[in-house]
Amino acid sequence: MSEKDVYVPPKVWTWEQPNGGEFANINRPVSGKTHEKELPVGEHPIQLYSLATPNGVKVTIMLEELLELGYEGAEYDAWLIKINEGDQFSSGFVNINPNSKIPAMVDHSEPKPISVFESGSILFYLANKFGEFLPEPLEQRTQIMNWLFWQMGSAPYLGGGFGHFYSYAPEKLEYPIDRFAMEIKRQLDVLDKHLAENTYFAGDNYSIADIAIYPWYGALARGLLYDAAEFLSVSEYTHLQRWVKTISERPAVIRGRKVNRVWGDEQDQVPERHSSDDLK
């Protein structure tokens, strides 16, 4: 890199449009609504506003797991939020999530509808509401929460860090790609070593920790994120691969991965779900 190419940060940062990258059309340094539009509301107790990104898939898997167990109160309407088109900045969406990120959910079964945002918070809410995938014994519950918070804190390195610079940035830069690849390899090693001694992330019981980790690190292990499987040598993490295979075969996971999906094979796309028949 020549001396003239070296970036020297100004004393005060200013937003210069466009800034490049795949999401440049929606990225902005301020929050709040950009347009007026109410969110649709269906007939089921739970209303989900989302897209089948890894964070969105966490919630649809959880809801499908609850339905698999027979909880009618977990029936939901899944409405598609097209983040590339800025749907998350509508007045209706901002009212339930001022951070304008998917997924967001409203539970209409309570006397006063409850809005829930952030995927980890939604998993925790649903686990508490239905008493599933988060057992009461303090030690086990704490282990599950440890891994849930691990995922919430670690995934930004995978998505916003590695994924951005490796896949979405307007140009490939060696330093950020190497820096984030090193961190992702470390994270994969953490998961692999833990799973060498545990069937699931909290021992022998499937939990919201597994549901949270699978859409990000399971997709990476399966070669579905950023076309980076070979680059990161994901096949060498054999215990993680065993866990991914086990989770991937669960019927609720197979269904949950399809909801709010608008890419890939047509048979795997269910842009909006308003009935269990939509997933048949």
Band (pLDDT 50/70/90 cuts) for residue 5 is: confident
What's the confidence (pLDDT) of residue 21?
67
Within 8 A by CB and 6+ apart from 90, the residues are 33, 34, 35, 36, 37, 38, 39
Average of per-residue pLDDT across 166-175: 94
Band (pLDDT 50/70/90 cuts) for residue 4 is: low
Look at residue 48 and tell me whether its pLDDT is greater than 80. Answer: yes
CATH number listed for the domain at residues 138-248: 1.20.1050.10
CATH architecture for the domain at 46-132+259-279: 3-Layer(aba) Sandwich (3.40)
Average of per-residue pLDDT across 97-117: 98
Domain boundaries, the chain: 46-132+259-279, 138-248
What's the confidence (pLDDT) of residue 6?
85
| Domains 46-132+259-279 and 138-248 agree in fold | no
Q: Determine what percent of the chain is predicted with pLDDT higher than 70.
A: 97
pLDDT digits (tens, 9 = 90+) for 202-254: 999 999 999 999 999 999 999 999 999 999 999 999 999 999 999 999 999 99
Dihedral sign (CA 98, 72, 67, 40)? negative
N-term to C-term CA, the chain:
55
Helix (H) or strand (E) holding 77: strand 76-80
Average predicted confidence (pLDDT) for the chain? 95
Tokens at 117, concatenated? 């945002």
Buried b (16+ CB within 10 A) or exposed e, 242-267: ebbebbeebebbebbbbbbbeeeeee
Look at residue 3 and tell me whether its pLDDT is greater than 60. Answer: no
